[in-house]
Structure 1
Amino acid sequence: MCLVFAAFVLSITALWVYVLRDASFSFLALAMFFPGATSLIWVAANGEFVSFMNKLSGANEPVRCIVFSILAVAIVYCIVEACVLIAVNMGWAKPVEIRKHSIHEHNKSRLSGFLRAAGEEIGWRCFLLPCLLDRFSVLTAFTISGIVWGLFHVPVMILLTYRLKPSRPYITVIVQSVSCLLSAFPHGWLAVKSGYSMWACSIMHWFWNIYNPTVLGSIYTNTPGKYTGQQWLINGEGLTGCLVMLPVAAAVVYDLNHKLFTMI
């Protein structure tokens, strides 16, 4: 069931991008709603809609939702700043003289940006991840969910690199996919710790879509933020992001396997 769900969402997303390949990035980004919408239809068809919505709301554990939502913002800040530290010290990034608006158009509205982020997180972290964890080990479940999340971005990344022609198009697509795989670990950790409510993981996704491009630019539109450099190298969704996220992913697996933070 888990993999059928993932395959269906990936298929309709690829078809969406192919058919609407001449549309704007903001319009194509409506695909962010596909995972969540599909999961809601899925649970409704199986008579589990009410229980699923109760879980999403976090009403049973509001304190945990608040605590981990705050932690989500702190984690994003630390990851992005760690990326800056590495990229600058490696000589890959330098401050820009003239700032550009690198936050994507569809994320500039805080409400719209949050709803789009939640559209993904409801499907990937609140539906797919617990489904996988019922069947696989922590490492396997998180890795599968990360691969799916990475593949979800591939069609639009291929299209945008074709349009914008960055210096390393193939590497850009591959590295961005790997960064999504690794980023699925902290997103999933927040979901697990907050009882699979939508809030903490969605806030992490939403804040990432604001803070990462503001500081490091956009690997999608090849636009610099506070720092400039090759996006596949310096971005939080580039090689630097992978380097920072790898130990974070390892820590997530270790914690969930050894229950280090059961008191939280």
Structure 2
Amino acid sequence: MPGSIGEEVGWRGYMLTRLIDARVSRPILVSGMIWGVWHLPLMVAGLYYASPILLLSIVLFMISVTSFGYVIAYLRLATGSIWPAVFLHSTWNAIIQNVFDLFTQGDSVLLWTGESGVFVALTLLATAFIFSKKQWTMIRTLPKQGEPLV
């Protein structure tokens, strides 16, 4: 959870809201892509999950992370808080990096599952598409005690 707190404070708590304030076109897409690129040096160095085909892993990882950024951004902006984003991010890391790894075996397992896997990328891409078509209500900060939420 500590890593997720740090990332969410930075990515969705600070950067996303600053991109929105700066009127950057498609701020959620841009923030998701920056989030993905931030992880790439770890993949290239072999310190992060990747299949034997590094270039394919990078492309699939970027699709996964950028797509997942839509879901996390929705939680952040719909609630006005980073905590739902932190909990989702932490849960994601625990499941994808621990549970998936324990229950999937084989030579090309990382090509299909994990954060740089084909199935995960396609699922997250479909999810991001659905979230991107929703009408979003943006709450920048939580209301003070006694104020209505909307």
Instruction: Please indicate the TM-score interval, normalised by the length of the shorter structure.
Output: 0.7 to 0.9
d(CA) in 2 for partners of 1:201, 1:115? 13
Match of 2:128 in 1: 249
d(CA) in 2 for partners of 1:164, 1:199? 26
Match of 2:28 in 1: 142
SS in 1 for 2:90: helix
d(CA) in 2 for partners of 1:256, 1:165? 35
- TM-score (norm: length of structure 1): 0.47
Contact 2:29-2:66 within 8 A present in 1 as well: yes
Alpha-carbon spacing, 1:150–1:164, altered in 2? closer, same or farther (3 Å): closer
Contact 2:63-2:125 within 8 A present in 1 as well: no
Q: Are residues 1:228 and 2:105 paired?
A: yes
d(CA) in 1 for partners of 2:24, 2:49? 39
d(CA) in 2 for partners of 1:127, 1:166? 32
Q: Where in structure 2 are the equivalents of 1:103-252 lying within 5 Å? A: 114-134=1-21, 135-136=23-24, 140-160=26-46, 166-195=51-80, 197-217=81-101, 225-229=102-106, 230-252=109-131
Runs ≥4 residues deviating over 6 A: none
Amino acid at match of 2:96: N
Shift, 1:255, TM fit? 1.5
Rg bigger for which structure?
1
Deviations 1:224-264 (A, max 9, x none): x212242132224422111111121122222235x5xxx99
Contact 1:179-1:237 within 8 A present in 2 as well: yes
Question: Any unmatched runs of 5+ in structure 2?
Answer: 138-148
- TM-score (norm: length of structure 2): 0.79
Shift, 1:171, TM fit? 1.2
SS in 2 for 1:228: coil
Alpha-carbon spacing, 1:144–1:165, altered in 2? closer, same or farther (3 Å): closer
Equivalent residues, number: 136
Contact 1:153-1:177 within 8 A present in 2 as well: no
Deviations 1:192-220 (A, max 9, x none): 1110x221101111111111123322xxx
Q: Name whichever structure is richer in helix by fraction.
A: 1
Contact 1:175-1:237 within 8 A present in 2 as well: yes
